[in-house]
Amino acid sequence: MNDDKDLIIIKCKDKTEEVEFCEFVKDKFEVRFRNNSEPYRYKSSNVCWYKDPKILDPKKWLVYENNSPVSGAISILDFGDYIKLKFQSGYKKLYKKSEIYMEETSLKNNSSKNIFEYIKKLAGQISVRDERDKSFLSNQYSKLEVISPRSVLSTYLEKKSLIKNDIEINAIFPFGFNQSQKYAAEKALNNQISVIEGPPGTGKTQTILNIIANAILNDKTVAVVSNNNSATANVLEKLQRYEIDFIAAYLGNNENKAKFLAEQNGKLPNMNGWKMPIEEFDLLKTELISSQKKLNEMLSYRNKQALLKQELSNIRTENEYFIQYYKETVFENYHFKSISKLNSDKILKLLIEYKQKSFKGKITLTEKLFNLLIYGVYDFKIYSYPPEQAISYLQKNFYEKKINEINIQLNALTKTLEHYNFEHEMKEYSRRSMNLFKAKLAMKYSGGNRSVFQKGDLWKNFDKFSNEYPVILSTTHSLLNSTGKNYLFDYIIVDEASQVDIVTGALALAAAKNAVIVGDTKQLPNVVPKEVATITNNIINSYGLEEAYNYTTNSLLSSFLTLFEDIPKTLLKEHYRCHPKIIGFCNQKFYNNELIVMTDEEDLNKPLVLYKTSKGNHARERINQRQIEVIFDEIIPEQKIDEGKQSVGIISPYRLQVEELSKVAGRRNIQVDTVHKFQGREKDVIILSTVANKVKAEDFVDDPNLINVAVSRAVDKLIVVASDGGEEWKGTNIGDLVRYIQYNNFEVIESKIYSVFDLLYSSYSDKLLDTLKKTKNVSKYKSENIMNVVISDILSLPEYQNLSYVMHQPLRMLIRDPFKLTDEEAKYAMNILTHTDFLIFNKVDKMPILVVEVDGYAFHANNPTQLKRDKMKDEILNKYDIPIIRLKTNESREDERLRLKLMDVIR
C-alpha cells in the first residue's frame, strides 16, 4: 500500500508498508501481505483503514511530543486519529493524535506575514556579515520557518489581546523585595507579557532574580537575554554570590558556548543542608506568603518615611530662600502666640481668609471675631500691621509649622519601624525564602551528579539540557543559536530592553511563551547610525506599517509600550544609589517625581558642585582643553578627591574629549569614558565634562537620556564642568542642571527675581481651589476654576512634565529688585495683594516660565480700573522678562493658545 495515501492499523500496529492488498469483505477485512500470496481475514474491530490524508506543510505546522518540539520532518500526514511524520533520512513515525500537540504557524495571515517579512528584510540590512558576506541575523531568521502561536513573537506580530496566565502564582522573594519589585514580579509571573521600567539604582537585577526563583519553584524554564554580555553576566554574578549559579548556562556566542561546555565537570554542589521534608516545605511556603502582608505594610511605612524625608529636604531648601525674602522685606520682629498654636493647614486657611478680606479693605470686627472663633486668633494686634507684614508673618509660620509637623511624622514612623524591627524581619524573610528556594533545588537535583553535554545536545537534546539548566543566559541575537529548533521557554526576560532593537528582540521572542521586558525609556536607547536610519525608514515606508514597528525610532521596550497601550507595567520607584540631591534632579526632570529616594542625606561636603570655565576658543572639534585643565588642576585637588578611598569616574558625551582626558589621567585610579559606555555603572564621584561652549536643546550633548544617565552614575558627589553662562541656556537640559545645582547650593544670588515658593504656594493653591469651589456667583473665581482645569490638563502632557504651577503668588514675592519700575508700578507690584492668577514654573530650578492671567468677561470688560491694572502688570512682568499670556474663558481654543505660548517660551 502507498503510505502517502493509506494508513492500515492492525491490532494497534502500523502495517501499511507490509500490506500488498486490503479489502472489506462480508464484515471482515481481507489483507494480503507482501511476499505472501495467501490473504488473512481480520475482524473489523482489529483493523483501521484510513485513506486520503490531509497533507500539512511542515513549514507551517509545529508538532510537540511531551511538550518537546519534533523537528526535521519533511512531510506531515493527517489521517484523522493519527499523524505520520516523515524525515529526510527516510525515518517515519506514527503518532496517535492524542499523544501529540499540533499548532499552525502564526504566519498564516497576511498582516503578521507582512510584518515578519519586513523584520527579515531589516535583518539583512543592519546585521554584521561573515567572511562569505552573509548577514548573521538573516541567517538566524532563515532558520525561523514556523512561529508558534503561543510565542510572544506571535503576539507581537499579530498585536493580539494580552492575556493573564491561567494559574496565578503566589510569589516569594528570596532576594528581598520592596513594594515596586513585588508588584513587578507578580505581574511578570501572572501575565503573558509585562514591562518593568527600571530607572537608575532601583534594583532591576534583584527583581529579575526573584522572577527566576519563582519560575523555577514552579518548574518553569527562563531565558535571560540582553543586547550585550555584561547585563547577563551581572545576573550570573548575583547567582554565584548565593551559590546557585549551577542552575544557569551562560551561552550565546560560540566562544561562550565553547567555554561553558569545556568547563562542565558533571558534579553538583553538596545540597544535603538544603533538603527539607515536603510537609515542612509546604508549610514554609504558606507562612512566607502570609508574612508578606505585614512586611508589605511596613514597606509602605518605609516609603512614606522616604517621601517625608524628601519633602523635609525640599521645604528646608525653599525655607532658606523664604528667610532671605523675609529678611529683605520685613524689618520688624514680632510674635503672636495664638498664631504659633495653629498647625500649617489652619495657617493656610487663615492666610486665604485674610487675603480675601483684605481685598475688600479694612478687616471688620465681625471678621476678626470670626477668626477668633474658627482659628482662635485672639491677638487682634496683627490686624494693625500692613497686609505685607501680616501675610509674610503667616507664611513664615507656615514653613516653621510644616517642618515641625514633618519631623513629628518622621519620628513616629521611625519608632513604628524600629518597634517592628524592620531590617531584621526583612532579612529573616529573605533568608527563609532562600531556604525554600534551595530546598526546591535540592529536590530537583536529588541525583548528586549531572549529565555532561556535548555541543550537538544544544539542538538535539535541548529538553534534557534545559531541565538540567533551567536558566539560559544569552544575547538576544544568539539565543536561537543556543537552543533546540522551535523550543519555547516558559519565560524570557529581556534586560536593558531600551537598548535592544526590534530585529534582535523579535528573534529572541520567538523562543518564549511569556516575556518580561525590562528597561528604561529615559536612559540611552540603541544607537541607529544615520545611514542605517535612512535605509530602514525606506523599508518601513514600503511596507506601510504602524509607527510601533519603526526600527529607527523604537527600541524593543518602546515598541511594546506603543503597540500595547494596556500592557501590564510597573515602575520601580525605590531608588538606592545616589545622594538624594543628585537623583533629585533626575526625579524632577525625567521621572515626574515618582521615584522614592531611599538613600539618606548625610552631612557630606556638597553632593553637587558646579565649575564654570570661561568662554573662549578652547572648545574645538568636541574637545575642550580648558575643561580638562580645570578637572586635573583645580577640581581634583580642591574637592579633596581621594582615588585610593573613592571610586572616581570622569565622563563626557564625546569620544574625542574622553581620549584627551585619558591621556592626562594616565595610570591614575580614575575611570574615564563616554556617558554611553558608563550606562549600567556607578562611581562614588562623577566628574561630567560637558565640553560645549554653548548648548541648544537639539544638540547631541543636551540629549535628555544622556544627561539622565550621566547624572545618575554619581553615588556621593556629582561635579559638573560647564562653560560660563550655562544658567542662561534656556530650554536645555544642561541649563536646567546648572540652575538646579545653583538653586540647591543657594548660589542664586544675583537674580533680580525670586524663585517660585513652590511648596508654600502649591499647598496654598490646593486650599484656595477648595475655597473657590465653594464661592458662588463670582465670575472671576469661576473663570479661575475653569482655567485651573485647562492648565492642569496641559501640564500633564509628557512634554511639560518638568513644569508645574501655583495660584496667586504675589508679585512682591516674584520681583526681588524693583529698581526697573516707576514709582506707581513699584507701589502696585510691592502690594502683597497684587498677585498672578497662575504662575507656571520649572520644577527643577523653581524659576518662572509663564504667567497666565484669566480675564473673565464680566470682571474685566466693563472695569476700566481693572484694565489699567492689567496693563501695568503686563509692563512690570515684561521689564523682568517674565512672559505673560491673557486668556478669556468665554473664547474658544484658549487651551491651544496656551500650548503654543508654552512651546514658544520653553524653547
Tell which residue, 335, 405, 337, 333, has the closest CA to residue 376.
337
3-state secondary structure 45-103: HHEEEEECCEEECCCCEEEEECCEECCCEEEEEECCCEEEEEECCCCEEEEEHHHEEEE
Q: What gap in Å lies between CA 225 and CA 516, rounded to an integer?
A: 10
pLDDT at 157: 96
pTM: 0.91
Tell whether 499 is covered by a domain: yes
- The reported pLDDT for the residue numbered 778 is 47
- The DSSP 8-state label assigned to residue 754 in this structure reads P
Q: How many CA atoms lie within 13 A of 125 on its CB side?
A: 21
Residue 229 lies in a domain: yes
Assess if residue 111 is contained within a domain: no
Q: Is 151 part of a structural domain of the chain?
A: yes
172 and 194 within one domain? yes
The predicted pLDDT at position 777 comes to: 46
User: For residues 148 and 826, what is the distance between their CA atoms, to the nearest angstrom?
Assistant: 75
**CA separation for the pair 658, 665 (Å, rounded):** 10
Give the C-alpha separation, 107 to 58, whole Å: 13
Asked whether the CA dihedral 899, 904, 905, 907 is positive or negative, the reply is positive
807 and 886 in one domain?
A: yes
**Domain enclosing residue 832, as ranges:** 758-906
CA distance 701 to 652: 9
Residue 720 CA to residue 712 CA, distance in Å, equals 12
Euclidean distance between CA atoms 509 and 440, whole angstroms = 28
For residue 616, the SS3 value is coil
User: Does residue 207 fall inside a structural domain?
Assistant: yes
Query: How many domains is the chain built from?
Result: 4
How far, rounded to the nearest angstrom, does the alpha carbon of residue 258 sit from its chain's CA centroid? 35
- Provide the grid cell at 803: 513644569
Tell me how far apart the alpha carbons of residues 881 and 905 are, in angstroms, rounded to a whole number: 11
pLDDT, averaged in runs of 10, over the chain (907 residues)? 89 91 89 87 92 93 90 92 92 92 91 94 78 71 91 95 87 95 96 97 96 97 93 94 96 91 92 94 94 94 97 95 90 80 90 82 83 82 84 92 97 95 94 97 87 90 93 94 91 96 96 97 91 94 94 96 96 97 96 95 84 70 88 93 91 95 92 93 95 84 94 96 82 92 82 86 85 60 82 91 92 91 94 92 92 74 79 94 88 86 88
Helix axes 204-217, 179-190, angle to 10 degrees: 40
DSSP 263: T
Query: Which three cell numbers, joined as nine digits, stand for 548?
Result: 510601533
Among 713, 744, 775, give the residue marking a domain's end: 744
H or E element in which residue 491 lies: strand 489-494
Pairing relationship of beta strands 68-69 and 73-78 according to DSSP bridges:
unpaired
Identify whether 901 is part of a domain: yes
Is 882 found in the same domain as 784? yes
Is residue 131 located within the same domain as residue 242? yes
Pairing, β 73-78 against β 82-87: antiparallel
Do residues 799 and 884 both lie within one domain?
yes
Neighbours of 640 (CB within 10 A): 8
Name the CA dihedral angle for 564, 473, 107, 513, rounded to a multiple of 10 degrees.
-60
Alpha helix stretches (DSSP H) within 330-421: 337-340, 344-359, 365-375, 387-420
Is there a single domain that holds both residue 149 and residue 207? yes
- DSSP assignment string, 189-240: HHBSEEEEE--TTS-HHHHHHHHHHHHHHTT--EEEEESSHHHHHHHHHHHH
Same domain, 736 and 771: no
Please indicate, yes or no, whether residues 697 and 763 belong to a single structural domain of this protein: no
Check residue 683 and give its pLDDT: 95
Residue 10 DSSP class: E
Kindly report the CA angle at 4 between 3 and 10, in degrees rounded to 5?
A: 30
DSSP state of 815: B
At 18 the three-state DSSP class reads helix
Distances from the Cα of 2 to the Cα of 10, 36, 79, 87, 708, angstroms: 16, 18, 13, 17, 69
The answer to whether 685 touches 641, Cβ cutoff 8 Å, is yes
3-state secondary structure of 451: coil
Q: How many residues are there in the chain?
A: 907
425, part of any domain: no
CATH number at residue 170: 3.40.50.300
Give the Cα separation of 739 and 772 in Å (integer).
Answer: 34
Whether residues 660 and 626 share a domain: the answer is yes
Q: Contact, 455 vs 477, CB < 8 A?
A: no
Cα–Cα distance between 194 and 783 in angstroms, integer? Answer: 43
128 and 101 co-located in one domain:
no
Handedness of CA 701, 705, 706, 711 (dihedral sign): positive
* Beta bridge partners of residue 512, listed in sequence order: 489
All residues at 6 or more sequence positions from 69 whose CB lies less than 8 Å from its CB, including other chains? 62, 63, 484, 485, 486, 487, 488
Q: Which residue has the cell 520532518?
A: 73
Which residue's entry shows cell 474658544? Answer: 892
Residue 620, pLDDT score: 63
Residues 99 and 135 in one domain: no
Q: Which amino acid is at 804?
A: S
Based on the domain organization, do 773 and 645 belong to the same domain? no
The answer to whether residue 607 is domain-embedded is: yes
Of 744, 779, 814, the position where a domain reaches its end is 744
CA 96 – CA 545 distance, rounded (Å): 42
How far, in Å, CA of 825 to CA of 291, rounded?
Answer: 66
Strands 623-624 vs 619-620: parallel, antiparallel or unpaired? antiparallel
